[in-house]
Amino acid sequence: MGAGSPTLRAARDEAARGLRGMLGADVPFADAVSRDGALVAGTPAGSPAIAALDLGADLGKVGDEGFLIRPATIAGKRATVLAANTDVGVLYGVFRLLQRLQAGHPVDASSVVEAPRIRHRVLNHWDNLDRTVERGYAGFSLWDWHKLPDYVDPRIVDYARANASIGINGTVLTNVNANATSLLPEYLGKAAALAGALRPYGIRVYLTARFSAPVEIGALKTADPLDPEVAAWWKRKADEIYAFIPDFGGFLVKANSEGQPGPQDYGRSHAAGANVLADAVAPHGGVVMWRAFVYSNDVPDDRAKQAFAEFQPLDGQFRPNVLVQVKNGPIDFQPREPFHPLFGAMPKTPLMMEFQVTQEYLGFATHLVYLAPLFEEVLRADTHAKGAGSTVARVIDGSLHGHARTGIAGVANVGTDRNWCGGVFACANWHAFGRLAWDHSLTSDAIADEWIRGTLGSDPALVAAVKEMMLGSREAAVDYMTPLGLHHLMAEGHHYGPGPWVKEARRADWTSVYYHRADAGGIGFDRTPTGSNAVAQYLPPVADAFSRLDTVPEKYLLWFHRVGWGHRMASGRTLWEELVGRYHAGVEAVRRMQATWRSLEGRVDAERFEQVRAFLAIQEKEARWWRDASVLYFQAFSGKPLPEGYERPEHDLAWYQAIRKRYVPGH
Amino acid sequence: MGAGSPTLRAARDEAARGLRGMLGADVPFADAVSRDGALVAGTPAGSPAIAALDLGADLGKVGDEGFLIRPATIAGKRATVLAANTDVGVLYGVFRLLQRLQAGHPVDASSVVEAPRIRHRVLNHWDNLDRTVERGYAGFSLWDWHKLPDYVDPRIVDYARANASIGINGTVLTNVNANATSLLPEYLGKAAALAGALRPYGIRVYLTARFSAPVEIGALKTADPLDPEVAAWWKRKADEIYAFIPDFGGFLVKANSEGQPGPQDYGRSHAAGANVLADAVAPHGGVVMWRAFVYSNDVPDDRAKQAFAEFQPLDGQFRPNVLVQVKNGPIDFQPREPFHPLFGAMPKTPLMMEFQVTQEYLGFATHLVYLAPLFEEVLRADTHAKGAGSTVARVIDGSLHGHARTGIAGVANVGTDRNWCGGVFACANWHAFGRLAWDHSLTSDAIADEWIRGTLGSDPALVAAVKEMMLGSREAAVDYMTPLGLHHLMAEGHHYGPGPWVKEARRADWTSVYYHRADAGGIGFDRTPTGSNAVAQYLPPVADAFSRLDTVPEKYLLWFHRVGWGHRMASGRTLWEELVGRYHAGVEAVRRMQATWRSLEGRVDAERFEQVRAFLAIQEKEARWWRDASVLYFQAFSGKPLPEGYERPEHDLAWYQAIRKRYVPGH
């Protein structure tokens, strides 16, 4: 492979380090093969040995980021070939080879052809310039802006390695609640230093663009996207950014949402806003990721409907280098939401998925909630946009509507904590996001298996036990927080703990009562035609299923329907009994995780064992907090006793309502 | 030594880990000696082998924290004895033994008798409950309040180990700009969890007390220290704290200073304020550390005089368990200040020293400035309070005025950064503070030697080269920032970089022009009898020396005197020439450090080598910034050209004045 590019050097270093670590011996990483067992890796353009293998047909399938790995005989010797069209393809191949070794596949038995299904696989860092991280529970921002560009912490390279190992190829450095300061030359120089450290690992840097930047730092009187001076300003700014960062990825924008400025401040549409930025970066090959997470202060309608109402009519009006970035569900990263109705509804526009890897609504870093099942549930959901099988995954990978420019974003959970994500298991969610971004056909089970082996060890009993904990954990969280389609019941502001009683806020749709609508008559948000009719935003087969009480999945029951406390569930229990049962089942599931973990003492290093043990104890305590606060609160409406056989709450409702949490991180 | 207390277990673990690491073999850590080479460690009360050695006379000298180490023959075998009166004395002895081994002394040749000279050796953490650290340049606070008390990060134990290894026995967890929230039961439970982790290492926890807490969290109408309800509230609060933390150390208080509430809000003295808290903790054995760093908004007099003016008249009015904590100099942790005139001036009151380990005014964590020479300069300064030899060290160790209760505080530079202090060399200042707190007779040279060997290696050429860098570094910083007695010339607020031109601030004494008073006629603050007469706060021999132009040390010239630009210096140069020369010498000294460090490539691990290299480049750049900005600014008053032979500034004065630094850490 020779000296090669920085990317090839990184690939060789990873191979050497990983193979030595796993096999206890150096595997020759060679171009010419002189003995059995060598790894021959490279591109046809860079490696005569690879070129000689005539892999053209197969390499034609892997594009500019994929790779193939296969056994081969070269000069009479047994070898493993790792070939790609690009250096970063080789790097990705090395990481996959190492993952497969960890999963028990011998090097020379591997035969793999892979290419990512989605082009832009990016992390969104909600990191502020003062190093606080909005909704961050893993310490503070990795970007030490003060010391940049003069000093780049070695952790940045480790961050790049971790991302490359799961195929992430982009990172948005700054918070979507954006700060125009990050576009000043002083900060562009700092971002360029980070870009330089990330580049060898195939990772491009993106920035959030504050829509009012032309006014705030450009001395213009307006940021109207149709004003020629504004367009010229953004063009100059883009040119300047590309002078600092030649492979700059582009902008991510949150506009006219939750107080952020945007094109509607000037009576212009989101398309007009996105396009002025898109035109600025287009000559340089950049993209604009424009968030669909918008809801107006003025619209009293169901918040779940607003993004669709704003964006669906704009389909076809965006420049080709705009991707509209849509959260997985129509509210906001709740423990469970139905898929966002925009998926499948904007065939002319590439839609990006926005998942939240950080656990804003899922217990922060201290709750073991493995998110792959949530991601998988959304990706597999069928929009029926082009008939059955029109999954959300096929919308975002471009195959359904024929888009070549595709993307997926994960709101990062990475910070300065020594374990990167605030907790051992939180890192599984970073891993799962990256792996699904690369290949959305992977299962939660397969990803958990791979992550456990890479993180905790390959002892089959350990892998089986930990996998069971992980796979059931998201359903447990749904149960102890918001079962049966309930949503947005958390404490106000910091979102730490339960707050179903929240009814005073700057906006009605920031309260809990707006969403659960409980009273003596029942509970749930009627989104059928008798209510807000949000179901109509889905295509008919989906809308029909969600609309009807006899076909709506019970997991979405209270999302779409308002039903009486005595409503009979599939279990034969009343809704009240089912609700209480779910809340208790959630706590019981956490206790089973605790028992499983205790059984693993001695099989996991003491430090991580103790952290997970302590975190599970926090999770059990907080699951009870959620359960007891919620059940007591809803009981005041249902007027029914707690069914027999369940633990009684430790305190009365007033006690839970009086809890005030201070200095909650990430807020 | 047996199972013993947690402290003894810690001692045994440290000995086992350290000796194995350094000697490559297990040294038997034994009570009964069966072969040569054992380490017999313990207390007479806990170890029959130690008791049998009849060490009473020697142990009588080491008090309740000291130890002795000596070779001995026990049961015919060669052994090393480590004996102390308490378990923590054994722990301290183990660390000293390891330090001596690293310095090249064989285990069995060590013969040491040590006891600390100062009783309360504490770090002051200016850490806020949101984990920001005021004047912190090493990331964020180590205290993860959100997860406490349920989870205590293992780094807390490592923090305790590091402190115990240098003899620090107390830590004030919270910022002197205090938050009454930290006194709520919820937070006391969190502090108790930290105290539990620190206790085995001999470290007591202290908290800052916000003087208005009785009003803010106690629902009282007043915090008047003479109000019986206020006194009763503090007593109850102290009782509550001790129920959480039985060995709670006490309170640190900043009152009536920089906006903090205090007794003067009610027309009461600092003594009255300190005493009400002292009475509350006295039954539990606690102390109050009451800061003398006060200056009034109303007093137009020289700020350097105010602490003395407030506190000296109160001598004799404090309870016995109050220590008055005095900064090393009369302004505020400048690169160089004369010693604080309160030292020696309050014979009836135990005075604590407050040093700043974090480099607020000394280039943050990126400037290599070894502070031991600064600390040493102050400790050796002679107050003449009881004639020649009445050093500051003898004031604070109690020997001058016969105080048994003594203390020394260091404002911590420790944070979440992986290297603890933000930079490799910043950690040397933590080390130096602890070692001088234990034994103020140690030299900067000896401490540097010990730190280098423990941190970077024992290669004599490496030790010599690094020591030379360290020992000259503080003088370099004085030269490139504020030579010849200049002070308080930094940028406003964040204190990052030069700001000699600062003249607008909420208070005159927060400006730079207040301190340097430069005009065409000259420069400097006249603190002689013709000026503010601050010199009169020193005892006559000191006051006389500082007052007279022919006897004032040139390093304090512009602190005490206002002189013309043509004033002739000892070097024969004019003041202007000398000033310019010093600024340039500071930059040259940094460049020599860079050259020395470059010569060490390959002798230091690559990661730390690169960090120090990058940091020295930052320091060189910022030293030029200080130099050029300051010289250009003063040149406008001196009206004289830059002497020949010096580098010209890169930019004009306006360019330097236009620099605005954003998101500076620690502010």
What residue type is assigned to position A209 of the chain?
A: A
Q: Which two tokens stand for residue A404?
A: 């070549």
Which residues from chain A sit within 8 angstroms of residue B155, using beta carbons?
418
pLDDT at B2: 45
Q: How far apart are CA B553 and CA B137, in angstroms?
A: 33
- Among A130, A418, A611, select the one facing B151 at the smallest CB separation: A611
What count of residues does chain A have?
667
B155 touches chain A (CB under 8 A): yes
A297-303: which pairs have CB atoms within 8 A and are 24 or more residues apart?
A297/A507, A300/A508, A301/A532, A302/A525, A302/A527, A302/A531, A302/A532, A302/A534, A303/A330, A303/A331, A303/A509, A303/A514
pLDDT-derived band at B110 (thresholds 50, 70, 90) equals low
Which residues from chain A sit within 8 angstroms of residue B139, using beta carbons?
139-140, 416
* Residues β-bridged to residue A354: A327, A409
- Any idea what the Cα angle at residue B156 is, between residues B153 and B160, rounded to 5°? 160
pLDDT at A195: 98
The label of the residue with tokens 């990016």 reads A122
Which residues from chain A sit within 8 angstroms of residue B614, using beta carbons?
150-151
Q: Are A118 and A79 in contact (CB under 8 A)?
A: no
Which residues from chain B sit within 8 angstroms of residue A616, using beta carbons?
none
Q: What is the mean pLDDT of chain B?
A: 96
Between B641 and B104, name the one with better pLDDT: B641
Exposed / middle / buried, residue B641 (Cβ in 10 Å: 0-12, 13-18, 19+): exposed
Whether residues B139 and A416 touch (CB distance < 8 A) is answered with: yes
Q: Which two tokens stand for residue A45?
A: 């353009």
Rg (CA), chain A: 26
Which residues from chain A sit within 8 angstroms of residue B663, using beta carbons?
129-131, 145-146, 181
Whether residues A618 and B151 touch (CB distance < 8 A) is answered with: yes
| pTM of the predicted structure, to 2 decimals | 0.97
pLDDT-derived band at B180 (thresholds 50, 70, 90) equals very high
A145 touches chain B (CB under 8 A): yes
Residue B1 has pLDDT above 60, yes or no: no
Across A195-249, the runs of DSSP E, i.e. the strands, are 204-208
CB burial of A98-128 (b: ≥16 within 10 Å; e: otherwise) equals bbbbbeeeebbebeeebbbbbbbbbbbbbbb
Tally Cβ neighbours within 10 Å of residue B531.
16
Across A84-132, the runs of DSSP E, i.e. the strands, are 112-114, 120-124
Task: Say whether B65 is catalytic.
Answer: no
- Residue B391 makes CB contacts below 8 A (sequence gap 6+) with B379, B380, B381, B382, B383, B400
Asked if residue A154 has a cis previous peptide bond (ω within 30° of 0), the answer is no
Task: Say whether B360 is catalytic.
Answer: yes
pLDDT at A2: 45
ipTM of model: 0.96
Integer distance in angstroms from the first to the last C-alpha of chain B?
A: 48
Least CA distance to B664: which residue of chain A? A146
- What number is the average pLDDT over the span A222-231? 98
- C-alpha torsion angle, residues A480, A484, A485, A489 (rounded to 10): -30
pLDDT one-digit tens code per residue, B82-91: 999 999 999 9
pLDDT at B37: 84
Q: Which of A263, A265, A293, A259 shows the shortest CA–CA distance to A278?
A: A263
Exposed / middle / buried, residue B131 (Cβ in 10 Å: 0-12, 13-18, 19+): buried
pLDDT at A3: 52
Asked if residue A149 has a cis previous peptide bond (ω within 30° of 0), the answer is yes
B104-108: which pairs have CB atoms within 8 A and are 24 or more residues apart?
B104/B458, B107/B19, B107/B23, B107/B27, B107/B37, B107/B39, B107/B80, B108/B37, B108/B71, B108/B78, B108/B79, B108/B80
Whether residues B154 and A617 touch (CB distance < 8 A) is answered with: no
Which residues from chain A sit within 8 angstroms of residue B146, using beta carbons?
663-665
| B120 to B7, B209, B409, B470: CA distances (angstroms) | 19, 18, 8, 27
Catalytic choice (A114, A302, A354, A360): A360
The label of the residue with tokens 């003041």 reads B575
Q: Which two tokens stand for residue B352?
A: 């604590």
pLDDT at A505: 87
Which residues from chain A sit within 8 angstroms of residue B611, using beta carbons?
151
Tally Cβ neighbours within 10 Å of residue A610.
15
Lowest mean per-residue pLDDT among A505-519, A541-555, B323-337: A505-519
CB burial of A410-449 (b: ≥16 within 10 Å; e: otherwise) equals bbbbbbbbebbbbbbbbbbbbbbbbbbbbbbebebeebbb
pLDDT one-digit tens code per residue, A391-432: 999 999 999 999 999 999 999 999 999 999 999 999 999 999
* Residues β-bridged to residue A208: A252
Distance (Å) from the C-alpha of residue A494 to the closest C-alpha of chain B?
A: 12
Task: Say whether B258 is catalytic.
Answer: yes
pLDDT at A110: 67
- Any idea what the Cα angle at residue A642 is, between residues A636 and A643, rounded to 5°? 145
- Among B147, B150, B618, select the one facing A151 at the smallest CB separation: B618
Chains A and B: how many Cβ contacts under 8 Å? 63
Whether residues B665 and A146 touch (CB distance < 8 A) is answered with: yes
The label of the residue with tokens 């420019």 reads A405
Whether residues B129 and A662 touch (CB distance < 8 A) is answered with: yes
pLDDT-derived band at A23 (thresholds 50, 70, 90) equals confident
Exposed / middle / buried, residue A196 (Cβ in 10 Å: 0-12, 13-18, 19+): middle
pLDDT-derived band at A1 (thresholds 50, 70, 90) equals very low
Q: Are A41 and A13 in contact (CB under 8 A)?
A: no
Rg (CA), chain B: 26
Q: Are B368 and B593 in contact (CB under 8 A)?
A: yes
pLDDT at B3: 52
A222 touches chain B (CB under 8 A): no
pLDDT one-digit tens code per residue, B229-267: 999 999 999 999 999 999 999 999 999 999 999 999 999
Lowest mean per-residue pLDDT among A3-17, A157-171, A489-503: A3-17
User: What percentage of chain B reaches a pLDDT higher than 90?
Assistant: 91
pLDDT at A297: 64
- Among B146, B416, B607, select the one facing A154 at the smallest CB separation: B607
A417-420: which pairs have CB atoms within 8 A and are 24 or more residues apart?
A417/A138, A417/A139, A417/A365, A418/B155, A418/B418, A419/A138, A419/A611, A420/A138, A420/A159, A420/A162
Q: Which of B75, B172, B192 shows the shortest CA–CA distance to B121?
A: B172
Q: Are B558 and B523 in contact (CB under 8 A)?
A: yes
Q: Name the pairing type of β-strands B170-172 and B120-124.
A: parallel
Least CA distance to B418: which residue of chain A? A418
Q: Are A356 and A411 in contact (CB under 8 A)?
A: yes
**Greatest CA separation found in chain A?**
81
Residue A32 has pLDDT above 90, yes or no: no
Q: Which of B568, B524, B473, B503 shows the shortest CA–CA distance to B304?
A: B524
Q: Are B439 and B117 in contact (CB under 8 A)?
A: yes
pLDDT-derived band at A25 (thresholds 50, 70, 90) equals confident
- What number is the average pLDDT over the span A350-371? 98
Distance (Å) from the C-alpha of residue A663 to the closest C-alpha of chain B?
A: 5
DSSP class of A112? E
Dihedral sign, Cα of residue B49, residue B50, residue B53, residue B56: negative
pLDDT at B299: 67
Distance (Å) from the C-alpha of residue B140 to the closest C-alpha of chain A?
A: 8
Exposed / middle / buried, residue A360 (Cβ in 10 Å: 0-12, 13-18, 19+): buried
Q: How far apart are CA A212 and CA B263, in angstroms?
A: 48
Residue A103 has pLDDT above 50, yes or no: yes
- What number is the average pLDDT over the span A589-601? 98
Whether residues A614 and B145 touch (CB distance < 8 A) is answered with: no
Q: Name the pairing type of β-strands A67-74 and A77-83.
A: antiparallel
pLDDT one-digit tens code per residue, A237-255: 999 999 999 999 999 999 9
* Residues β-bridged to residue A382: A391
A425 touches chain B (CB under 8 A): no
B151 touches chain A (CB under 8 A): yes
Distance (Å) from the C-alpha of residue B274 to the closest C-alpha of chain A?
A: 29
Dihedral sign, Cα of residue A302, residue A307, residue A311, residue A312: negative
Q: How far apart are CA A35 and CA A33, in angstroms?
A: 6
pLDDT one-digit tens code per residue, A431-444: 999 999 999 999 99
Which residues from chain A sit within 8 angstroms of residue B196, using beta carbons?
none
Distance (Å) from the C-alpha of residue B217 to the closest C-alpha of chain A?
A: 14
- Residue A266 makes CB contacts below 8 A (sequence gap 6+) with A222, A223, A224, A225, A226
Q: What is the mean pLDDT of chain A?
A: 96
- Among B146, B150, B610, select the one facing A665 at the smallest CB separation: B146
B300 touches chain A (CB under 8 A): no
Distance (Å) from the C-alpha of residue A159 to the closest C-alpha of chain B?
A: 15
Distance (Å) from the C-alpha of residue B516 to the closest C-alpha of chain A?
A: 29
- Residue B348 makes CB contacts below 8 A (sequence gap 6+) with B315, B316, B401
What count of residues does chain B have?
667
The answer for B 353-392 residues in CB contact with A (under 8 A) is 366
- 3-class DSSP state for residue B27? coil
